[in-house]
Structure 1
Amino acid sequence: MQVAFAGTPEFARAALERLHAAGFAIPLVLTQPDRPAGRGMKLQPSPVKQFAEAHHIPVAQPRSLRLDGKFPEAAAAAREALASARPDVLVVAAYGLILPQWTLDLPRLGCLNIHASLLPRWRGAAPIHRAIEAGDAETGVTIMQMDAGLDTGDMLLAERMPIAADDTTATLHDKLAALGARLIVEALELAACGGLRPVPQPAEGVTYAHKIEKSEAAIAWTNAADAIERRIRAFDPFPGASAQVRGETVKVWRARALMQGRGSVAPGTIVAVDADGIGVACGQGRLEITELQRPGGKRLAAAEFLRGFPLEPGMRFEA
């Protein structure tokens, strides 16, 4: 089976690595163009490109796949490259470009997507973040037959995974990447013998995982402490939950929610400071912050953070 691949970040690299290790022929990899990154803002290849080049797999990096879009020449070149590769199937994982109809139609078996949720819950760009933020007890991976809609295609395989109480987007991402890599190999092995059974997504239970915006990082202290704690975990590593105190914008990376009702002090007010953390009043309950970071600094446990940046009860965190 000839398996072309389209993906960009680490989540996708895990799947490409597993497909390569399983012995599938990979005639072409599509990935996003190199992006500036790091202090020097030098162009950096995506994790998928790095793996492909290290294993001598041809790579194409079109700026668009839309023949009627802003970059028709790039799209035409990508279509020619994909057609020349003659793939039986195109596996897609966090690619970052919309696939037009010609792309969906080109492979004999169509395009299979590795989606990090239990569809139809959390269609869209940020399913891992939104599942943690919403307090979901479980998530998983769905292998989906792609169609023209936004994550609306038939389900081919799915497997559930619990969300641990201390999971962040970073930790859950790695678990789901490994699960998705295993499931796509299973799906292709079933496809090779005609064993896949498409199941339409139910109409009930549809939710959308909207893209994470930097503007969401500011902590709203009027919210309940448990909701704030979930958002802190959901926004680790990006964009990081933040609040202003003593004139600085501080990142809050870890915290515990204590839900014993609402006190008489205003939300955001520091009510306790000790070796265990920094207690902050919320709209309901209080948040015990245990790991923070100043601009340009490192993540620090609360006790170490306080040695260089003292805080005391009565001071206030602002959004």
Structure 2
Amino acid sequence: MKIVFAGTPEFAAVALQALHEAGFEIALVLTQPDRPAGRGMQLQPSAVKQYALAHGMEVLQPLSLRTDSRDPVRAEQALAAHERLLNTPYEVMVVAAYGLILPVSTLDIKPCLNIHGSLLPRWRGAAPIHRAIEAGDTETGVTIMEMEEGLDTGPMLLTEKIAIGPHDTTGMVHDKLAALGGKMIVEALHKMKHGELDAVVQPAAGVNYAAKISKEEAALDFSLPAIELDRKIRAFNPFPGAHGAVNGVVVKLWGAEVVDGAGTPGQVLAADAHGIVVACGAGALRLTTLQKPGGKRLPAGEFIKGFALEGQTFV
């Protein structure tokens, strides 16, 4: 079974590896163009590109797949990519966190299956893992779906659930779902090959949009209940990192737990080796892992040795 694979980050690279190790022939890999990253802002290849090149796979990195783009460079690259797909013998396209819109012209060439990190239709969109944790969901999972023009609206082919634990972060859940997605797409393609893959239309009820995470929303509002802030800290770990400011210094908050306490929202009620207790709109948070600008992530006991917080206020 020949496959065209489209994906960009680590979540997708795990699936590509699973397909490759399962013996599927990867005819072509689509991934986003290299992006500047790191302190030196050097161009860095995506996780998918790194895996593909390391295993001798052909890689294509168009800026867009929309041939009707008003940008002539994007339109030219999209047309070239479209021609390449038409001239590539393959049976199915597998898509995982690609990051570019697949137009109807692409979807119509061959069947397109998507690995989506959510139990559809609960969270459609770009950030289903973050939003599930932020909303307090107790479970999530992976849906293998057939792609159509709408955003994550296509028929569901396979679904598998996992629990979200009370201390799970986005990073932790991401890794579980990436491994699960790789396993499930291999299973789905085997079923597809033997005509055993049944499509189920998504229910109309229970749809939510998982909007892309912005850096601005990672600034915590301590007038919110502690339970909501705990979810945000876990949801924004590892990106973009929840934070508060003390005396004008932005402090990133990587770990916390809900505790009893009352006071003016943002007020530091206690600061010791066990944690930094901060009053919230309802209850309090014990901050356990913090980071100041240019510093390392530190447990609270170590952090307060170089950053006095007793009697201070987070804003």
Shared fold per TM-score greater than 0.5: yes
TM-score between the two structures when normalised by the length of structure 2: 0.98
Q: Secondary structure at the match of 1:12?
A: helix
The Cα offsets for residues 213-240 of structure 1, whole Å up to 9 and x where unpaired, read as 0110111101000110010000001110
Distance 1:189 1:67 in 2: 33
Deviation at 1:39, TM superposition (A): 1.2
Distance 1:249 1:92 in 2: 38
Match of 1:59 in 2: 59
Match of 1:306 in 2: 304
Distance 2:25 2:89 in 1: 11
Q: Secondary structure at the match of 2:118?
A: coil
Deviation at 1:247, TM superposition (A): 2.3
Distance 2:197 2:51 in 1: 28
Match of 2:88 in 1: 85
Q: Matches of residues 164-313 of structure 1 in structure 2 within 5 Å?
A: 164-258=165-259, 260=260, 263=262, 265-312=263-310
Deviation at 1:274, TM superposition (A): 1.5
Counterpart of 1:274, as a letter, is D
Q: Which consecutive residues of structure 2, in runs of 5 or more, have no partner in the other structure?
A: none
Counterpart of 1:245, as a letter, is V
Match of 2:20 in 1: 20
Q: Is the 8 A contact 2:272 2:304 kept in 1?
A: no
Match of 2:152 in 1: 151
The Cα offsets for residues 176-229 of structure 1, whole Å up to 9 and x where unpaired, read as 000000000000000001110000000111111000001101111010001100
Match of 2:38 in 1: 38
The Cα offsets for residues 266-296 of structure 1, whole Å up to 9 and x where unpaired, read as 1000111121000100000000000000001
Distance 1:205 1:68 in 2: 33
Counterpart of 1:90, as a letter, is M
Q: Which consecutive residues of structure 1, in runs of 5 or more, have no partner in the other structure?
A: none
* Number of matched pairs: 312
Match of 1:315 in 2: 312
Counterpart of 2:314, as a letter, is F
Distance 1:88 1:19 in 2: 14
Distance 2:156 2:235 in 1: 26
Distance 2:138 2:39 in 1: 38
Match of 1:142 in 2: 143
Counterpart of 2:282, as a letter, is Q
Q: Which residue among 74, 78, 85 is the counterpart of 2:77? A: 74
